[in-house]
Structures are given as structure tokens and as C-alpha cells.
Amino acid sequence: MKSSYQTVVIGGGVVGVSVLYHLAKFGWTDVALVERAELTAGSTWHAAAGYFSLNADPNIAALQAYTINLYKEIEAASGQSVGMHETGGLMLASDPRRWEMLKASLSTFEAIGIDTARLVTPDEVREMTGGFIVTDDLQGALYDHNEGYLDPNGVTYAYAGAAKKLGAEVILRNRVLDLNQRTDGSWDIVTEHGTIHTEHVVNAAGLWAKQCGLMAGVDLPVTPMEHHYLVTEGIPELRKRDGELPVIIDLDGFTYSRQERDGLLLGVYERNFKHWMMDGAPWDYGMDLIQPDIDRIMPELEVGFERYPSLADTGIRKWINGGFTFAPDGNPLVGPVGPRGYWVACGVMAGFSQGGGVGKALAEWMIHGQPEGDIYGMDVARFGLHQSNREYIRQTTGQFYARRFMITYPNEELPAGRPLRTPGAYVDMSEAGCRWTQSWGMEAPAYFAPSSNFVEPGTLRRNAAFDIVAKECEAVQNAAGLMDISAYARYEITGPNAEAYLDKLLSCLLPEPGKVKLAPMLAEDGRLKGDLTVFNWGGGIYWLMGSYYLRSWHMRWFEDHQIEEAIIRDMSDYIGGFSLNGPKARELLQSLTATDLTSLNMMSCRSVDLGLYRIKLARLSLSGELAYEINCSAVEHAGLRKCLLEAGTPMGIREIGFRAMSSLRLEKSIGIWNGEFTQAYTPSMTGFDRWIAWDKGNFIGREAARKASAPTQVLRMIEIDASDADARGFEPVRKDGCVIGMTTSGGYGYRMQASYAMALVNVEHADIGNDIIVDIVGEQRPATIIELSPYDPTGGRMRK
């Protein structure tokens, strides 16, 4: 062990050695891994070690595909076998709703380029398994030949061996005791065998990630949970098989299985979950297991034994109950967090599917400044400090674990960790029938139900609230709709260099005082980093507004690029507000103020006295109707709502939610982040380049965006001949039997009474009027590429 390294990785599980290997592979060879015991000690050694390429997030799916392809590389580089069993995998569906979901999932996989999967019949399942499992109740299965399992020890030592051949060092039996940051930002890692100085620290500590985070003052939203599987004695039917049994996931039975020699490994995701050592595993825990708790998992085991009849006559060779670390949504935590030079790669529940991709992404981030792909689904910044609360973690991780194999519908609202944050008028809105969704812990209105008895079952098709949302859209079109926008992020920028800072940060020309502009923000490589709105309130005060759930992500970016004498403050906890949309919006507001609102033109803003309240008013529209955004103090939110509703009642005002606004903005072809705009896309792909002021001078990403190759795909509007379901995003767009694009978002346009989607389409097929096919819930539906903004294409209604 040396006294100094460029980077030190803490943790010798499959994720830690992957990070070490990728750092060395990409050029940082002065790196070391420090492990408190032996490699694999913790979760890795007892993992079932299955690997899967399928994931509904295309960016995570790409990293999983990379991980699987990497195994033969590290095996060759290290000379250590990874014990790869390429068995293929089956995902079973016995519930008709599950079968519908698998068909929709296959369409998504085809859209994102996964061509290894196909649907199979119960007879094919029976043939693939040699009659080993019961198939009489099956609707079918999804089969992917790019699945299997590995030797967890072999994989870990292969990563470590390949890393050492590139110059990296592996230090065993040396626990990290403390982390101390020097005034220059570098770190002293205090270990049992001395102090190591380093520029970068990577927390890949697995079951101990919580403690290693707190050493740096970072409270990570992770916790260990118990997880069981059993391994049987030899089974004659498996002993006689010609080839191994496929990996099998019985989604409706909450079990997974694979062959273990001539026996069966059967694991469960029980609904009666149990946390273990929520504050982190004991330091002396290593090659240990937790006492099995068979009674607790018996309901799922009984279903598993019904699926595998041979188990009734087979002995159990061993029970495994081990700890695995989970984040609230089950995805990894990756990236920089807390003090400079501190990085995390933890909470990687699917380590043998994702570990290679996690190591690649983090190494790229550390060395090159950002990962090659869009890994927001793994980014530690998708959580805030309020989501590191112990009870929040307990509820959300438990909910994820218990629902691991359950059907989750796009219109389903889950209860864990809620309500956490609420707008000022939450109680009054709830009494008015508001049904809530949530964004980053903030409750936001989905729609307003007419009756307290209204129930909305989960579905992939048009849901029970369809007609309710229609009435909300009708109110916006004909009178006025009021929507709470407390779940918008708001940032204030002030100081002598506020203008210079924003000019560097944003790619648009800054607005004059009293004006508003759409504000694309780019990364250094020219790809998108934000679709913000910038307000100039005058007096040197600017606001940026954006997506509420991106608050930590954007603040990290703002602070990384901050300049002296420019102060940026996240005000989202202190400011709430409303969006007022519809032809009577101005009349309503005018009845409450002495200010002449006819002079407030589109994309303008000013402070206004509205009734008892001094608010910040801006005129801009997501709905395509005359619209205003009203910003108020959070403590005035309830009073202002009451004031607006009382004034608007004679005019036909109606409260609306985000489902209605989603339909309204879609009819105007207005894109949203994580749909039409992501950090994987360039401005020219999405049409966002029309808002960029290329000649204003230098700004982040300017030269890279200008030099970017012409896009191979462009954003288009599609009208779909749908029946009882609509696009949601990630559906394939087809032409002549080939996939030519992918939807980015979709839904029903109530004003136009048509089903729409926005999609990225190959440029050679992007002509207006082109007839195409779009998969809706796995069914191929005829569609046509149409002009943007099918509702009021001239924009006259919102500008009047």
C-alpha cells in the first residue's frame, strides 16, 4: 500500500472492482481499491448472480448490454473464468393483464434496439423446460436468449485481475475508519493500516455504503434488506436434461429460479418484506448470512412449489438469507455527491446485470467530466436530502421490494413516503376532490374527482379518469382552468455578475427586464442539459424555472459552473403558485387588480397586486390558450387559491391537474424533459436549436453543438388511429416492417379528439404525411406524421 493514489475505491464487491477496472482501462492507473475483508465479502459472494439485458429504461438497458458483453473481455484479460452460463431466460405470465404488459414491454425493447427477446406460447415454455414446470395456467412468456447466470466469485476476481494487470492495486483486510477532507479538496482516508492521501474517493461499499457516506457528511438514501433463496438437492429431471434449464422469473408467483448443478436455486421477492441493519451492516459482518425466516416467505414459497412440482419430493441443500442494499426506487446511486472529489457507486441491487455499466459510467464521469450515456435513472442527484429520511427510506424501499414482480401501471399512485411535501392549499384541494400524484416528494394535482367514492383501477389502457380529464380540458378551452404549480422548480439569480453567469449558462439571449424567454441549457459536449424558462423581473433579479424533480441535479450543475459575485438560490420550498389557462383568464385576473393587464404581452412578466396578495405574474402558455403563471409565497398559496376560485366561479372556472395539462401541451407539440428532451439528445434532434442564440458569444456547449453531426433522427408529431389506449413513450414507430423511430411521449388530445404522440423518427422517413405504424400496448396501429401543433397551429388563441 502506497501513501498516496489518484483515486481510492472503497469496497471489494462486484461494483467496486468494476469501477477500479474501468478507471485503469480509461487511463487512470494510479488507483487502488481498499476492502475491509476479502473480495466479494458482503453481498456479492452469496448473490444468485443472474444477468438480464432487459430494462424499460433504454439508457440502463444499454449499460446492461455493455455489462453482459464485458464478461468475456475481463475473462480474457485476467485469465480468470467468470463461470458464464448462457442459458437464456423466461419471464412467465399467468395473469392476462401481465401478458398484456409483456407484449407492451416487447414493443419497448424493440424500440430501444433490443432484438434478443420474443414472445413464446405455453407449449414453447413446456418444450424449453422439458415439462419441468407447470404451464397449464400460463398466458405465455417473454424469452430472451441473452440471459443467464455467472460465478460471482469468478466475476469479481476477473475484474480485479484485469485491473491489476493495468496497474491498479487491490488492498485487502484493511478497513476504512474515517474520511477527512483537506483545505485543497483532497482526501485523507484513515485505514487500520495507515492513512492514504487521494484526490478522489469512490464509495462502493455496498452494505456499508451508509456508514462510508456519513464519514464524508453524505446521508445516502440506501438500506440493506433481507433476501432469501434456497438450493435443492439433485433433481432427477434436471440430471437427465440435455442442457441447462433457462433462468425463469415467475412474475405472478414472485419467484425466480435457475439451475444449480443438478438442483434448483429458487428465490423469492416476498410481499412481507424485512429490512436489516438499516444504518448499515456491522463492520465484522462479511462471509456471513442472516438467520432464515421461512415462515415469513411461506406464501411465495407455496406458489413456487406449485410451479415446480419436483420440489415436493426434493430435499433442500441450503437456505441463503443475505443482505442486499436498495435505494428507494431500486436503481443504483452513481455520481458525485457532497464534498468535491467524493463519488458513489452503491445500491446496485442487480450487480451482475449493471455492475459493468456502472463502473464504465462512473469512470467516464470522473475522467472526462460526464458519462457517455444518459444515466439519470442511476444518478444520485435524482434524490434530495429530504429523501434520506430514515422512515422515507424504510417505506419506499419496502414498497419497491414487495412490488418487485408486481404489475405497476402508468396511472397508479403508490402510497409509500407520502405525503411528504404538500402545497399550501393541499387540505382545501383534497376536500375539493383532488387526486394527487407526486414529483420528488411534492404532491401535485393529477385531476379532480367529482366524488369521494371515485376509484381509478390501474390499467395500460384509457383509465377511469378519462372523462374527468376531458371536462378539465373543456374548461380550459371554453372558460378557465386553474392548476397548482407548486411542483415547479424556481431558482433566483442575483449579484453583480448574475447576467454574465446566466449568459454563460444558457444558450438563449437573456430577456430584457419584464420579459421571459425559453432557455435551453447545454452540456459541454453540446447535448441538452435543461429546458428552462428564464425571467427578468428587473432590478438585477432573474429567475430560472424548470422541473421540480431535477432540483438536486440542476443545482449541482449550477454550482459546478458558478462564477464569483453571482448568487443562485433554490427558492422552490418558499414559492408556490398557479397556472391560469383559458379565454377568460385575463378577465378573471383583471377583476382582482388595478393593473391594466392588456399591456402584459406574451412572454412578459411583472409584479402585480392581486386581491390581498402581491404576486409575480408572467404570461406564457403550455396549453395553447391565453394563460398566466402566478407565483406567490408558499404561505399565501391557500388564500390566493380561494381568491381566484371565488372570482372565477361566475365565469366557469374549474380546477385542473397535470393530466389535463399533459394533454393540452401535447396538442401544441410542446416537449417536456425526460420525454422529448433528455441529456442524450442534441438541440438539432429535438428542434430546440431554434431557441439558441448562436451568435451571442460563448456559452457552455456552443462549439460542440455547432460542430455536431447532422441528426439521424428528428422530432415529429404523430396522429394515431388508436382505439382504447394511447401512446405513453418508448413505443416503436415502424415503416414497412422496420423500426424507424421511437415515441417520446403521447396521450389523447381532448380538444382535437385524437390520439397523438411525439417521436424521434429517422430523417429519411420523417416527411409530413408519411403513413407509419405505432405499437400501442403491443398492438400495431396505423398512424400518420403530421405538422406540429395540431391545435390552433397559428398560436392565435394564446396570443390574443
Residue 360 has phi, psi (to 5 degrees) of -60, -50
Quickly list H helices, 624-701: 637-648, 658-667, 683-686
Is the pLDDT confidence value at 203 over 80?
yes
* Per-residue pLDDT at 286: 87
Angle at 738 between CA 377 and CA 98, to 5 degrees: 50
The count of other CB atoms within 10 Å of the CB of residue 167 is 11
Same domain, yes or no: 490 and 617: yes
- Average pLDDT in the 94-120 region? 94
Residue 657's pLDDT is what?
Answer: 98
Query: What residues contact residue 698 under an 8 Å CB cut-off, 6+ apart?
Result: 504
Grid-cell match 434478443, residue found: 116
pLDDT one-digit tens code per residue, 554-613: 999 999 999 999 999 999 999 999 999 999 999 999 999 999 999 999 999 999 999 999
Nearest Cα to 293, choosing from 368, 344, 228? Answer: 228
CATH of the domain at 769: 2.40.30.110
Helix/strand/coil (H/E/C) assignment for every residue in 574-626: CEEEEEEECCCHHHHHHCCCCCCHHHCCCCEEEEEEECCEEEEEEECCCCCCC
CATH of the domain at 77: 3.50.50.60
Cα gap 365→336, rounded to integer Å: 9
Q: Is the pLDDT of residue 57 over 90?
A: no
Residue 188, strand partner residues = 180, 197
Please check whether residues 442 and 570 belong to one and the same domain. yes
Q: Tell me if residue 50 falls in helix, strand or coil.
A: strand
Average pLDDT in the chain: 97
The answer to the question of residue 700 being in a domain is no
Judge if 298 and 366 occupy the same domain: no
Q: What is residue 409's predicted lDDT score, i.e. its pLDDT?
A: 94
Average pLDDT for residues 623-649, to the nearest whole number? 98
CA 376 – CA 361 distance, rounded (Å): 11
Q: Which conformational region is residue 217 in: left (phi greater than 0), alpha (psi within -120 to 50 degrees), or beta? A: left
In terms of pTM, does the model score above 0.85?
Answer: yes
670 close to 615: Cβ distance less than 8 angstroms:
no
Do 610 and 669 fall into the same domain? yes
The answer to the question of residue 459 being in a domain is yes
Secondary structure class of 756 (helix, strand, coil): strand
- The long-range contacts involving 385-392, CB below 8 angstroms and separated by at least 24 positions, are 385/219, 386/420, 386/421, 386/441, 387/221, 387/328, 387/417, 387/440, 387/441, 388/219, 388/220, 388/221, 390/278, 392/221, 392/328, 392/417, 392/420, 392/441
Domains contained in the chain, number = 4
Question: Tens of pLDDT along 238-264?
Answer: 999 999 999 999 999 999 999 999 999
pLDDT at 53: 85
C-alpha cell of residue 674: 425526460
Instruction: For residue 490, name the pLDDT band (cuts at 50, 70, 90).
Output: very high
Residue 227: beta bridge partners? Answer: 322
The answer, yes or no, to whether residue 44 has pLDDT greater than 80, is yes
pLDDT of residue 56 exceeding 80, the answer is no
First to last CA, the chain: 72
Residues 353 and 280 in one domain: no
Could you tell me which residues come within 8 angstroms of residue 271 by beta carbon, excluding any fewer than 6 positions away?
254, 299, 300, 402
Same domain membership, residue 535 and residue 472? yes
Distance between CA atoms of residues 736 and 628, nearest Å: 45
324 strand-pairing partners: 225
- Residue 122 in any domain: the answer is yes
Tell me if 133 is assigned to some domain.
yes
338: in domain: yes
Q: Which amino acid is at 307?
A: R
**Does residue 178 form part of some domain?**
yes
Burial level of 789, CB count in 10 A (0-12/13-18/19+)? middle
The contacts of residue 792 (CB under 8 Å, 6+ apart) are 624, 668, 798
pLDDT band for position 73 (cuts 50, 70, 90): very high
Q: Which of 381, 407, 425 is the C-terminal boundary of a domain?
A: 381
User: Are 128 and 66 in a shared domain?
Assistant: no
* Residue 39 parent element (H or E): none
Nearby residues of 644 by Cβ (< 8 Å), 6 or more positions away: 482, 578, 580, 588, 592, 630, 653
Assigned C-alpha cell, 762: 429517422
> Alpha-carbon distance 655 to 792, whole Å?
23
**DSSP per-residue codes, 192-229:** TTEEEEEEEEEE--GGGHHHHHHTTT---S-EEEEEEE
Torsion of CA 322, 328, 333, 337, to 10 degrees: -130
Q: What CA–CA distances, in Å, run from 294 to 125, 169, 253, 484, 665? A: 29, 41, 16, 48, 51
DSSP annotation of 510 reads P
Domain shared by 576 and 482, yes or no: yes
- Phi and psi of 406, rounded to 5°? -85, 155
Residue 683: strand, helix, or coil: helix
Q: Is residue 188 part of a domain?
A: yes
Among residues 277, 295, 324, which one ends one of the domains? 324
Q: Which three cell numbers stand for residue 431?
A: 376536500
> What is the structure's pLDDT at 359?
98
- Cα 620-622-628 angle, rounded to 5 deg: 35
At 532, which CATH number?
3.30.1360.120
Q: Do 132 and 92 contact (CB within 8 A), yes or no?
A: no
- For the stretch 264-293, pLDDT in tens is 999 999 999 999 999 999 999 989 999 999
Q: Do residues 511 and 577 share a domain?
A: yes
Q: Does residue 399 belong to any structural domain of this protein?
A: no
- Residue that is last in its domain, among 308, 324, 340: 324
Q: Which of 413, 432, 411 is nearest to 423 (CA)?
A: 432
Q: How far is CA 515 from CA 1, 425, 539, in A?
A: 60, 29, 13
Whether the Cβ atoms of residue 443 and residue 418 lie closer than 8 Å to each other: yes
Grid cell in block for residue 70: 464485458
Q: 494 and 570: one domain?
A: yes
Please name every residue paired with 715 in a beta bridge, in sequence order, or none if there are none: 760
Q: What is the pLDDT of residue 49?
A: 96
How does 711-723 read in b/e, with b if 16+ C-beta sit within 10 Å?
Answer: bebbbbbbbbebe
Alpha helices in 700-771 (DSSP H): 702-707
Q: What is the pLDDT of residues 351-395, one digit of tens each?
A: 999 999 999 999 999 999 999 999 999 999 999 999 999 999 999
Which residue type does 433 have?
G
Answer yes or no: do 99 and 244 share one domain.
yes
The CA distance from 236 to 414, in Å, is 44
pLDDT tens-digit readout, 508-549: 999 999 999 999 999 999 999 999 999 999 999 999 999 999
Domain check: are 612 and 650 in the same one?
yes
Q: Which domain, by its residues, includes 779? A: 712-799
